Amino acid sequence: IEADTLGINYLAGAGYDSDALASMLAGLSNKTALDQRLAGRTASTPAWTSTHPEPGKRVATALERARAVGGTDGPRNRAAYLAAIDGLLYGDNPKQGVVDGSVFRHPDLRIAFTAPRGFALANGARAVSITGEGAQAEFSAAPYAGDFQAYIGGVFRALGEKSAAPPPFELRRTRINGFDAAYATVKAAGGSGTVDATVFAIAVSPSRAYHFTIIAPNGAGLGPLVDLPGSFRALTATEAAAIKPRFIRIVTVKKGETATTIAARMAFPDAQLDRFLALNGLAAGTVLRPGDKVKIVGY
């Protein structure tokens, strides 16, 4: 909220429309709602899974503060803004792996996995987070030298006090889509009591392994993420080569074009119109005029 206030003050002080922040927050809220729907989530994301206040709740406050500081009649310089973002990378850089709906794929590492319906993926610099109702998880990597016992013990140690010995655990071995794998579950202290913490490690070579760290309610084991480790697989060379970065493209509406026809150019396999409307802050049924400039996502 403090950042919102500062942003509004900066906008007004520079002579821009101070309502612009509220518009941005409304767009963010719409995008969040769309992402949840596409992931099969009917409830709002719990507050503990977000690093920021819920966007929808910030819009009204931002509007009130914009009115208080004045400057709501200032320009937004939309043309300059669109020119500046034309060609901007959209979403993940394939060199760091890409999230596409419920699927994570990394073309350089040649690996992929799929989250169960109702769970959302977020790609970070060091881990992929998987959040939803009834469990949460992270996918990451750690140094591996062929010893699952040491590998999983190291992950458990990192979950608690790094200087302490890992909790005792029973190692179980299995195979996942042709790869050697092992897993173990321990009891751990969570924010609301004891939870089940499971580390599921998968070795793709004698010197490289990845793991899922899954946190579920006490006694639930893997809970609703029981199928997550089994979705891990290798990408073929063809699949890896097909993963391309997406970019923001600014297009000018031509006579006869509609939101539906332009949305068909969006570089997504599903929900093209919904994604187009959210990207441009447009309501369903909005009539586009020839000469309007809109954003799409393309390759």
Examine the fold and report which residue of 15, 40, 75 is the final residue of a domain before the chain moves on: 75
Answer for the pair 223, 134: CB distance below 8 angstroms, yes or no.
Answer: yes
Is the domain of 274 the same as that of 186?
no
Using DSSP's 3-state secondary structure scheme, residue 68 falls into helix
- Can you name the residues that pair with 98 across neighbouring β-strands? 105
Please name the amino acid found at residue 60.
Answer: A
Examine the fold and report which residue of 241, 261, 282 is the final residue of a domain before the chain moves on: 241
Residue 181's Cβ-count burial label (10 Å; 0-12, 13-18, 19+) is buried
CA distance 114 to 222: 15
CATH number for 221: 3.40.1000.10
Q: How many separate domains does the chain show?
A: 3
pLDDT per residue of the chain (299 residues) written in tens, 0 to 9:
677 778 777 787 788 887 787 788 888 888 888 888 887 765 544 443 455 556 556 766 766 766 676 656 778 789 999 999 999 999 999 999 999 889 999 999 999 999 999 899 999 989 999 999 999 999 999 999 999 999 999 999 988 765 567 788 999 999 999 999 999 999 988 777 899 999 999 999 999 999 999 999 999 999 999 999 999 999 999 999 999 999 999 999 999 999 999 999 999 988 999 999 999 999 999 999 999 999 999 99
CA distance 201 to 233: 13
Is the domain of 158 the same as that of 292?
no
Is the domain of 88 the same as that of 98?
no
Is the domain of 108 the same as that of 230?
yes
Examine the fold and report which residue of 41, 75, 109 is the final residue of a domain before the chain moves on: 75
pLDDT at 71: 57
Half-sphere exposure of 23 (CA within 13 A, CB side): 12
Is the domain of 234 the same as that of 271?
no
Is the domain of 85 the same as that of 217?
no
Q: What is the four-CA torsion angle of 188, 192, 196, 198, rounded to 10 degrees?
A: -80
Q: What is the four-CA torsion angle of 55, 56, 62, 67, rounded to 10 degrees?
A: 160
Answer for the pair 59, 8: CB distance below 8 angstroms, yes or no.
Answer: no
Is the domain of 186 the same as that of 219?
yes
Residue 178 gets which letter from DSSP?
A: T
pLDDT at 60: 66
Non-local CB neighbours of 287 within 8 Å, separated by 6+ positions: 258
Q: Residue 244's CB: how many other CB atoms inside 10 A?
A: 11
Is the domain of 136 the same as that of 40?
no
- Tell me how many degrees the CA angle 81-87-92 measures, rounded to the nearest 5: 110
Is the domain of 35 the same as that of 62?
yes
Is the domain of 171 the same as that of 68?
no
Q: Residue 232's CB: how many other CB atoms inside 10 A?
A: 22
- Residue 285 Ramachandran class (φ > 0 left, ψ -120 to 50 alpha, else beta): left
Is the domain of 231 the same as that of 288?
no
The boundaries of the domain holding residue 85 are 77-92+245-299
Is the domain of 84 the same as that of 103?
no
